[in-house]
Amino acid sequence: MRVLLKETLSPVEAEEYDAFVATARGGHYSQARSWSSVATAGRPLTVRWFLARDGGKTVGAGLLLRPRAARYLLAPVAHMDRGPVCDDPERVGRVARALVARTRLHGIARLSIMPYWTDAEADAVERALDRERFTNTQQADGAHIATLRLALGERTEAEILAGGDRATLRRKLKQAEKAGARARMGTAVDLPALRRLHGELMSGQGMSKKPDLYFERLEGQLAPSGPAGLFVCEHEGDVVAAALMLRHGSVATFVLGASDRSHRSFSKMVLPFLAAIRWARDLGCTSFDLGGIPMEGDTDEKRRNIAQFKFDFDRTLVRLVSEHTRWF
C-alpha cells in the first residue's frame, strides 16, 4: 500500500482526494477539503492530508489534525475526525495500519481516529481496529456515537410528517405557524445572528464557542454555491433561532444551531428544521441526519433535552464508530 501524508496536495492529488471523499461510503463532511478551513478556524492545529492507494486504486483518505503547543512546537498527538475515509469497511483495518506507520515517522506518539460507519458495519470496523491495537476511548462529552436519521427520498412533506410518533411535532409546527413565526433560508447577512445565538448557548452551558473566524469562513460555504444551508426562524421582527446544515453525498446533517432566550409561545427550532428537511429532499438527499444524541448511560440533562427535541422528528437510531486511540 502506497501512502501520502502531506501538508499540501498537488492538483492531481487534490482532485483524487476530493473525488474519493465525496463518493466513498465511509465519507463524512468533516473530511472534505472544502470544509477544512471552517473546521480548523481559530484552532492551533497543523493540517496534513492522508491518501492511501492499493494496486493503483484509492482506498483511504483523511484530514489529520495535530495540535501545536507553540508556534513551531508540535504536540506528539494527532487525531482524525470521522476518518480515515474508506469505501469498504473491510479495508479500514489495513488503512488504519498504514496511517499508524506513516504518523510514527512524523513523531506522533498517540493517534485517535473515528471512521464513519454505521450499525453492523460499525461493529465490524471496531473489531478491525481492535486487531490493530486501537483502544476504545469514547467519552460521553466527545464526538457523538449515536444519531437519528430521517428517511427522505421522494417522500412528500405529508408522508415525512405522518404517523403517531410525529403527533407532537405536528402540534408544535401548528403552534409556531399560528403564532406568526416563519422560517427562511439564511444568507451571509444572517451569520452574525447565528454567531450570537451559538455564543449565548455555549456561554450558558459553560462551553467554548466557535471563534469569529469560523463564521467568517462559513460565508463561502453557504448555499446555493456551497454545501451549507442556513435556516432561521423569525418572529415579530426578531431572529429567534438559527440552524446550520451541511450536505455531503446523499446525507444532509445538522451541524449546529441555537435559539434565543426570549419567551415565545412555540418551539423556535421546529420551523428551521422543517425548512432544512425540504431543502435537503429537493436537492436529492436520501436522509436527514438530526445530529448526535447522548450515548447509552449518559445522564447529562442538557444533552438529553436536546435529544428529546430530535426524537419528535424521528426515532431511527443509528450507531456510529466510537473514538479509538493507539499509543506508540
Task: Give me the count of residues in the chain.
Answer: 328
User: Would you state the pLDDT for residue 300?
Assistant: 73
- pLDDT tens, 45-80? 999 999 999 998 999 999 999 998 766 677 899 999
What gap in Å lies between CA 267 and CA 250, rounded to an integer?
28
* Cα gap 48→9, rounded to integer Å: 9
- Grid cell for residue 281: 429532499
Contact between residue 62 and residue 116 where contact means Cβ atoms under 8 Å apart: no
pLDDT of residue 63: 97
Spell out the per-residue pLDDT of the chain, length 328, in tens. 999 999 999 999 999 999 999 999 999 999 999 999 999 999 999 999 999 999 989 999 999 999 987 666 778 999 999 999 999 999 999 999 999 999 999 999 999 999 999 999 999 999 999 999 999 999 988 899 999 999 998 899 999 999 999 999 999 999 999 999 999 999 999 999 999 999 999 998 888 899 999 999 999 999 999 999 999 999 999 999 999 999 999 999 999 999 999 999 999 999 999 999 999 999 999 999 999 988 777 777 777 777 888 999 999 999 999 999 999 8
Helical H segments across the chain, by residue range? 11-23, 33-39, 92-104, 119-131, 157-161, 167-178, 191-204, 212-218, 270-282, 301-311
Q: Which ranges in 239-295 belong to alpha helices (H)?
A: 270-282
Cβ-in-10-Å burial (0-12, 13-18, 19+) of 88 comes to: middle
> Rounded to two decimals, what is the model's pTM?
0.92
Q: What confidence score (pLDDT) does residue 70 get?
A: 66
How confident is the model over 154-183, as pLDDT tens digits? 899 999 999 999 999 999 999 999 999 999
Beta-sheet pairing, 251-259 with 287-292: parallel
- pLDDT at residue 193, as a whole number: 96
pLDDT on residue 175: 97
Q: Which cell is 318 given? A: 443509528
